[in-house]
Structure 1
Amino acid sequence: GVCKVMHPEGNGRSGFLIHGERQKDKLVVLECYVRKDLVYTKANPTFHHWKVDNRKFGLTFQSPADARAFDRGVRKAIEDLIEEVENGFWRAQKAPGLPTVLL
Structure 2
Amino acid sequence: MAVLCSARAVVLLYDDTHKQWVAAGGGPQTLSCIQLYHHPGANAFRLVGRKMQPDQQVVLNCPLGRGLRYSQATPQFHQWREARRVWGLSFGAPREATLFATAVLRALRALEEGEYWVGGGHWGTRGGPDPIALPCISPHPGTPLSWPDPDGPAPEEPEQQERWGTHQIGGAWGGTP
TM-score when normalising by structure 2: 0.47
- Selected match of 1:53 from 83, 106, 109: 83
Give the superposition deviation at 1:39.
1.5
Q: Which 4+ runs in 1 deviate beyond 4 A?
A: 94-103
Mapped pair 1:91 → 2:119: no
Provide the rounded CA distance (Å) in 2 between the counterparts of 1:73 and 1:80. 10
Which of 35, 54, 60 is the aligned partner of 1:4? 35
Mapping for residues 1-103 of structure 1, pairs under 5 Å: 1-8=32-39, 14-24=43-53, 25-84=55-114, 91-93=116-118, 97-98=130-131, 100=133
**CA offset digits 1:49-98 (Å, max 9, x no partner):** 011233211100010011101111111111111123xxxxx724259545
Aligned pairs, how many? 96
Aligned to 2:175: none
Report the CA distance shift for 1:20/1:98 in structure 2 as closer, same or farther (over 3 A).
farther
What amino acid is aligned across from residue 84 of structure 2 in structure 1?
N
Structure ranking higher in helix proportion: 1
Distance 1:95 1:31 in 2: 25
Per the alignment, residue 7 of structure 2 pairs with: none
Q: In the superposition, relative to structure 1, how do residues 3 and 21 fare at CA in structure 2: closer, same or farther (>3 Å)?
A: same
Bigger radius of gyration: 2
Letter in 2 for 1:33: P
State the TM-score, normalized to the length of structure 1.
Answer: 0.75
Is the partner of 1:21 in helix, strand or coil?
strand
The answer for unaligned runs of 5 or more in structure 2 is 1-31, 122-129, 137-163, 165-177
Instruction: Kindly state the Cα deviation for residue 14 of structure 1 after the two structures are TM-superposed.
Output: 4.2
CA-based RMSD of the aligned residues comes to 2.6
